[in-house]
Structure 1
Amino acid sequence: MVPSAEPGRAVVLGTGGTAQAANAALAELGYREPIVLVRNAGRAGALRETAERLGVALDLRPVLTDEVAAARTLTGADVVISTLPARAADPLAGAHWRPPTVVLDVVYAPWPTVLAGGAAASGCRIASGLDMLLHQAVAQVELMTGHAGPVDAMRTALARAARTRR
């Protein structure tokens, strides 16, 4: 899901464990200076430590409480990953999205999120937390059994389970 061969600008929303994993994935894709939008930079200690181990220079911006500044930061990003809880990113749905942007919102219920819906309406490529969950499960099957996970069967089962929960 990398939008171009040459990494541009990546933005991560949040500071928790999922944000750490998101920054690790971005580092593997070549993003060495992701912008991380936070509510309180003082609570990003673990995220900073992880970034240091990864050799990543985070650009921490405590603007999540300022919807205008946060939405402005999303404009022009190549990749946006929201690791925020359900509905926390809703105010950013009206950002000035551009079609090449890839947006991963790790939330999968309710889906689509307001953030994903806003980005999709502007032509962005969208991935949900279910996509992330699927690929984590596939990797776990491979680690535990030594065999490739049955991606299609697992995707079908996951989609069925998600529909049932709604």
Structure 2
Amino acid sequence: MGDSAADRSPRSAAVLGHPVDHSLSPVLHGAAYRALGLDGWTYERIDCTEGQLPAVVDSSPDHRVGYSVTMPNKFAALGYATEVSDRARIVGSANTLVRRETGWFADCTDVDGVTGALAGFNGLPAEPTAVVLGVGGTARPVLAGLAAAGATRVVLASRRDNAGPAADCGRALGLEIHTVLLSDATLPDEVSRSDVLVNTVPEPGVGALTHLVTGANRLFDVLYDPWPTAAASAALSAGIPVVGGDVMLLNQAFGQVELFTGRPAPRQAMAAALADALGR
């Protein structure tokens, strides 16, 4: 592997986001290309707003094979694509653009990130129940990942009565969705009865919700930096199993590498590079 002229020929990918300096995608993809022997491959960060995305992708050099897409550009990426995966269409956003002969293909490997994170729990039932805190853009791939992991019933908890789009997404995925406010008196009981609590609420907003976390059976926090988060700290102090967003980040990158290179992702090399970057 890595000895052919094709392996040494220039190829590139990049991450599009604003801001983008914090992105660890270059760490993950760079480690993958090295492990695969793709000596001519490079990966870069491109600071790009949602409005700038079409022009940036339009001007892609011939050697550009694809883009990782982070916020706030995931909705624009979906709208730009000429072909869209079913899961990206249902979720309503794309974190991956892949060049094809007919144009650009959009996918949402964030779903793989969620299923990979859920697989990190020991003893999770085959049809887990879940409570999801927050109904923003991240909640939708979380719902898709829960559905892919066999979930059937999910409670969506939001600060305001704005869970409709996320609830519609969940129902399109075949989930039984219930919506409550974060202030609802029934929510602690829902959390204690569910198999997993998923936090998508950014810091510091989750600080006021730690009373919910300490009643959970398992916590998946989509955040990972700084670590531990307020939610993770509360769970760990209570002896509750925790999986962090770094596991989601790693697992979503596997699919991107495979879409870009056409080869199985070198998972151990990528995991080691991420752990080193995070100092864990």
Match of 2:215 in 1: 97
CA offset at residue 4 of structure 1? 3.5
Instruction: Tell me which amino acid in the other structure corresponds to 1:86.
Output: E
Instruction: Give runs of aligned pairs for residues 16-95 of structure 1, distance below 5 A.
Output: 16-41=136-161, 43-62=162-181, 64=182, 66=183, 70-95=187-212
Moved more, 71-80 or 141-150: 71-80
Distance 1:67 1:119 in 2: 21
Distance 2:184 2:226 in 1: 21
Identity %: 33
Distance 1:52 1:72 in 2: 23
TM-score where L is the length of structure 2: 0.51
Distance 2:125 2:195 in 1: 11
Larger radius of gyration: 2
Q: Which runs of 5+ in 2 are unaligned?
A: 1-118
TM-score where L is the length of structure 1: 0.83
Q: Secondary structure at the match of 1:75?
A: helix
Query: RMSD over aligned Cα, in angstroms?
Result: 2.3
How has the CA–CA distance of structure 1 residues 105 and 20 changed in structure 2, closer, same or farther, with 3 Å as cutoff?
Answer: same
CA offset at residue 163 of structure 1? 3.5
Between structures 1 and 2, the one with greater helix share = 1
Alignment deviations for residues 101-158 of structure 1 (CA, whole Å, 9 cap, x no partner): 2211111112111211211222222111111000011111112222221222212222
Q: Which runs of 5+ in 1 are unaligned?
A: none
Instruction: Give runs of aligned pairs for residues 113-152 of structure 1, distance below 5 A.
Output: 113-152=229-268
Is the contact made by 2:156 and 2:163 (CA closer than 8 Å) also made in structure 1? no
Between structures 1 and 2, the one with greater strand share = 2
